[in-house]
Amino acid sequence: MVRQERAEATRNAVLAAAADVFERDGYAAANLSDIIDKSGVTKGSLYFHFASKEDLARGVIDEGVRRMQVACAPLTDLRDPALEVMIGLSYLVTDVAAADQIVGAMFRLHHEIGDHRGTGKNIVDAWRENQIALTRRGQAEGDLDPDADPVEIGTFVFGTLFGARVVAHATGTLDVLPARLERAWHYMLPALVDPSKIDYFRQFALRRSRR
């Protein structure tokens, strides 16, 4: 048990150091020697857990996805209106990425590697599917246009929000991402909801952006 705990501690130290270096330098420029020095483990210990830089990057992605899912679970488990959940999640993901370096590194890594995967399936497609499921629920609840194609709407909303993050990361403007998300919702909502509900959901998005 002690050996297992020590191995887990070593792996966690490597992941934390790797997230710091990957988020700072990006995947291509990251140096394993820097990660070894920062983690305080030996080269052999790192290679015991991760066979290559790519393997390590995918480990960071897996851990970042796990942490984000844990952080978002309380919101997605609630039976709040689906559109409120959609809006709330867009900000919560941004908050978690800013507070947890492994989550922040995960967002940078999965598109820099190029296939949007950790060690499993395409995680971006899974997030899109979740947005589509929330869209269907929002239609059933009467907040989203019941005649619209939920796949098209869910994909459009997800693409807009995810694209805002990619642009913010590429331009070094993650600090203003919450404000950009609020503007995105401001302009998207008239195409999604009944005119009588636009002001309510716009105010909901604005209040959440100011937390």
Tell me: the pLDDT tens digits for 32-55?
999 999 999 999 999 999 999 999
> Is residue 171, in this structure, part of any structural domain at all?
yes
Q: pLDDT value at position 134?
A: 96
Q: pLDDT value at position 211?
A: 73
Supply the range of the domain harboring residue 112. Answer: 61-209
> Is residue 6, in this structure, part of any structural domain at all?
no
Between 21 and 170, residue with greater pLDDT: 21
> Is residue 80, in this structure, part of any structural domain at all?
yes
> Is residue 107, in this structure, part of any structural domain at all?
yes
Check whether 164 has a pLDDT greater than 70.
yes
Read off the pLDDT of residues 71-120 as tens digits, 9 standing for 90 and up: 999 887 778 999 999 999 999 999 999 999 999 999 999 889 988 999 99
Alpha-carbon gap, residue 115 to 108, rounded angstroms: 12
Alpha-carbon gap, residue 80 to 103, rounded angstroms: 25
Cα 91-96-100 angle, rounded to 5 deg? 160
The count of domains in the chain is 1
Mean pLDDT of the chain: 93
Residues 6 or more apart whose Cβ sits within 8 Å of residue 85: 75, 76, 78, 134
Instruction: With 0.95 as the threshold, say if the pTM is over it.
Output: no
Q: pLDDT value at position 2?
A: 61
> Is residue 192, in this structure, part of any structural domain at all?
yes
> Is residue 15, in this structure, part of any structural domain at all?
no
Nearest to 46 by CA among 66, 23, 18, 67: 18
- Phi-psi bin for 152: left (phi > 0), alpha (psi -120 to 50), beta? alpha
Check whether 174 has a pLDDT greater than 70.
yes
Q: Tokens in use for 145?
A: 């246009």
Q: Which amino acid is at 186?
A: H
The CATH number linked to 135 is 1.10.357.10
> Is residue 134, in this structure, part of any structural domain at all?
yes
> Is residue 12, in this structure, part of any structural domain at all?
no
